[in-house]
Structure 1
Amino acid sequence: MNANYFQELAAKYDAWFATPHGRYVHRFEREAVLGLAAPAPGMNVADIGCGTGIYTDELLQAGASVTGVDISPEMLAIAAARTARHGDAVSFLQGDAAALPFAAVSFDLVTSITAMEFFADPRACLQDMYRIVRPGGRLVVATLGSQSPWAWQRRLKTFFKKTVFRHATFHSIQDMRAFFAPHPITAWRGTIFVPPFAPAALIRHPDPFERWCQRNIPSFGAFLVVRVDKPE
């Protein structure tokens, strides 16, 4: 894919987050990711598959030092522009998530947000991420859930037009447990339950429905976040 495609994709992605659906999704996704990641000042963090740097920026705002890694130089350029105000606290590397260019036990926190859908070998990538977490640190990975109406809609769209999800594979919490084994998942959350075809009133006021689903049917969330702690 050429640079223009990634520039257009980033613009559309950011614009979508300004819509009612986008604001709802970003609010609850952010809550789930940062709630499990718990970034703090002084942390050394790797953001794998950082894309356009949305969560790289969130981690920097929490006071962490962050290294963003992505296979796409075009995406890295967008992420660098987004986070330029953070100066030396952020750096970026082009790299493959299956063979990360870091020594073992290098980071307090490793994150990967909605990138593993595009990994050829998700298990190999997640195991390599675990390798670079220091003892006492944690790995937080978010993926698009396979059991949600959002996944059904995304699959359907690929039959009619070119979308970024054409080559994506969505995952369940059972898949995630298998990918991480033998390392146990410490905690996980499922969020985004208001379907893409929901009435406007539910999108504007999602809290009662969203919170009930988070408590009772988390595995059906469109967005799954898992945390794996590495023992001391």
Structure 2
Amino acid sequence: MTEESPPIREVYDRIGPHFSKTRQYPWTDVTDFLDTVSGTVGLDVGCGNGRHTEAMASVVESPIGVDLSRSLLEEARSRVTESGIEATFLQGTATILPLSDSTVDVAVYIAAIHHLRDRDARIESLDELARVLRPDGVGLVSSWCTAHDRFDRETGFDTTIDWTLPDGETVPRYYHIYDRGEFVADIRASDLELEREWVSKGNCYARVGGSR
């Protein structure tokens, strides 16, 4: 089943405008995290339409959003232009972030790691986050998890979940659905320092520090 889903960049380039319309507000867990931090440079990994990049602009001087989808980056740039916020958006992947070492004070990596198809890539993306965070930097990582009401599973698994466009076309999206223990294990297997973890509204979260 998962082999039949197209590359995630292709998926979000196809569904980007419609997807963006359904993702207008930042998540409460993210804004709660942002209320506790501040800094010069902020990074939103897998920024999508920029809703969390926009929220980050209230606590950092220079917010940066990175996404592999050109369609979603266009949505993000339009969003911050309309709101009068200055932010930089770069095309890139979570496993090869287009930033230098130890340059980021605050980072969010929200609902994106679950699109990476194998564990090595997921941990590699966490290592990349550790690489770009300053030693005293802090980040928030989240993923869908088995605690979500739509899943009747206790252990992590791979799946595809369709996105339905207005014309009825369905576009399959690959997901790795974490269980809580597996999510924590991957954070601990990376170069990040795990500060706290929790589950909220069907998502696993981890507050993390820079490279150990």
Bin for the TM-score computed over the shorter chain: 0.7 to 0.9
CA contact (8 A) 1:37 1:227 kept: no
CA contact (8 A) 1:40 1:64 kept: no
Q: Do residues 230 (structure 1) and 198 (structure 2) align?
A: no
Cα pair distance change 1:49/1:190, threshold 3 Å: same
User: What's the CA shift string for 1:158-179, capped at 9, x where partnerless?
Assistant: 4x98355x31111122222222
- Residue pairs, 1:145-164, within 5 angstroms: 145-152=145-152, 158=162, 162-163=170-171
Q: Give the C-alpha shift of residue 80 in structure 1.
A: 0.7
| Counterpart AA for 1:149 | D
2:176 partner SS: coil
| Counterpart AA for 1:46 | L
1:129 partner SS: helix
CA RMSD of aligned residues (A): 2.9
Partner of 1:175: 182
Report the number of matched residues: 186
Unaligned runs of 5+ in 1: 18-25, 193-221
Q: Give the C-alpha shift of residue 223 in structure 1.
A: 1.6
Supply the distance in 1 between the matched residues of 2:148 and 2:111 (Cα, whole angstroms). 15
- Residue pairs, 1:74-153, within 5 angstroms: 74-84=71-81, 85-87=83-85, 89-120=86-117, 121-152=121-152
| Counterpart AA for 2:40 | M
Cα pair distance change 1:47/1:157, threshold 3 Å: closer
Supply the distance in 2 between the matched residues of 1:136 and 1:34 (Cα, whole angstroms). 20
Q: Give the C-alpha shift of residue 45 in structure 1.
A: 0.6
CA contact (8 A) 2:39 2:59 kept: no
Supply the distance in 1 between the matched residues of 2:210 and 2:200 (Cα, whole angstroms). 24
1:168 partner SS: strand
CA contact (8 A) 2:193 2:211 kept: no
Q: Give the C-alpha shift of residue 35 in structure 1.
A: 2.5
Cα pair distance change 1:151/1:55, threshold 3 Å: farther
Supply the distance in 1 between the matched residues of 2:62 and 2:94 (Cα, whole angstroms). 19
| Counterpart AA for 1:10 | S
| Counterpart AA for 2:100 | A
Unaligned runs of 5+ in 2: 1-9, 154-158
Q: Of the candidates 61, 65, 69, which is equivalent to residue 68 of structure 1?
A: 65
| Counterpart AA for 2:196 | A
| Counterpart AA for 2:197 | W
Q: Give the C-alpha shift of residue 42 in structure 1.
A: 4.3
Percent identity between matched residues is: 19
Q: Give the C-alpha shift of residue 147 in structure 1.
A: 3.0
Partner of 2:197: 188
1:83 partner SS: helix
Q: Do residues 6 (structure 1) and 3 (structure 2) align?
A: no
What TM-score, normalized by structure 1, do the two folds share?
A: 0.69
Cα pair distance change 1:38/1:188, threshold 3 Å: farther
User: What's the CA shift string for 1:41-72, capped at 9, x where partnerless?
Assistant: 54311111000111111111345421100000
User: What's the CA shift string for 1:86-130, capped at 9, x where partnerless?
Assistant: 45x310100011111211111001211101111232111111111
| Counterpart AA for 2:110 | I
